[in-house]
Structure 1
């Protein structure tokens, strides 16, 4: 049984977890995810729900997220990696336990919205790209990702992940292995589709 019955109740719970700027971002991601889902054939309701919940734990203290991840036996490479990734994995756990979200597609879209994964589903790609292109985002290259997302979701995701990895390398931060594997997987799929 979920602890909320209406969209307004859900949004009140989401809003209570974060500061105003993060909440505005969250609404932007949900709207962008719904739009991308409609454009590319994913479920708009699931996309919007995952968008609302994707950053549920983003503003939580890192020690609280760490405790959740350890309790759920998350891999060492995640726990030892950049803390910026923790909110996605912790969020998928928390929205299931605290909000009663049980749809595996929605939970996976939340879990992998920052790292990606090999063999991403359409819904996962939608939420990941929506997180990059929502209207409040403003970073070098965002307009090109938005342009690509009009017609080619995979190309938009490749550019977005590539930009993230480049940023991390320039800052001498670690690149999470799953993100590199995701990028390589998407590139391989692109090459295969060109051969067909």
Structure 2
């Protein structure tokens, strides 16, 4: 990121993109990501910044996000999939071009915070789990994931992704391939390693 942009300026830019409830969620994710980063050994500054920026495009119109994705030749399977995923991929592009974020770790954490992927980095896991468990989140099973996240990041993430997959199946919605692959990767690593590590 352009290091000359101070925190107040950054937050004002983020605030301008979204309604109040989404902004409160964003602040919750940033703080939770910072705490998880400290707990598990990721960079807390990068985690907090990715948390601030992860939903930058969430409240944008579908047409506006679609235009960004098409211009940057993102995969057809993304464009044909659930539109709920678009904001993460569009956001990674926009925060680079409009905010000046150039750190690939932060960009990847934003890009994959909704889908996950195979071989997620520690920072990606931190931001993804923080998005699931920040204090404003209320859904069945969130307390279990919060408890797990205090001990084992990979277990928390696998349970969270598993819950998302189950929810989508119950609603007869498509499951984005990256999410299935991320879940399978976490579960298979547990089998290979005899348990999860942060």
Q: CA deviation at 1:106?
A: 0.2
Q: Secondary structure at the match of 1:108?
A: helix
Q: Aligned residue for 2:25? A: 25
Q: Aligned residue for 2:47? A: 47
Residue ranges of structure 1 left out of the alignment (5+ in a row): none
The answer as to whether partners of 1:3 and 1:98 remain within 8 angstroms in 2 is no
> How far apart, in 1, do the equivalents of 2:94 and 2:13 lie?
12
Q: CA deviation at 1:120?
A: 0.2
The answer as to whether partners of 1:33 and 1:127 remain within 8 angstroms in 2 is yes
> How far apart, in 1, do the equivalents of 2:43 and 2:144 lie?
25
Please report the RMSD computed on the Cα atoms of aligned residues, expressed in angstroms: 1.4
TM-score relative to the length of structure 2: 0.97
**Structure 1 outlier segments of 4+, above 6 Å:** none
Q: Aligned residue for 2:58? A: 58
The answer as to whether partners of 1:14 and 1:53 remain within 8 angstroms in 2 is yes
Residue ranges of structure 2 left out of the alignment (5+ in a row): none
Q: CA deviation at 1:2?
A: 3.2
Q: How does 1:72-151 map to 2 (within 5 A)?
A: 72-151=72-151
Deviations 1:61-100 (A, max 9, x none): 0000000000000000000000000000000000000000
TM-score relative to the length of structure 1: 0.98
> How far apart, in 1, do the equivalents of 2:17 and 2:195 lie?
47
The answer as to whether partners of 1:4 and 1:10 remain within 8 angstroms in 2 is no
- Please identify, of 3-12 and 34-43, the stretch whose mean Cα deviation from structure 2 is larger: 3-12
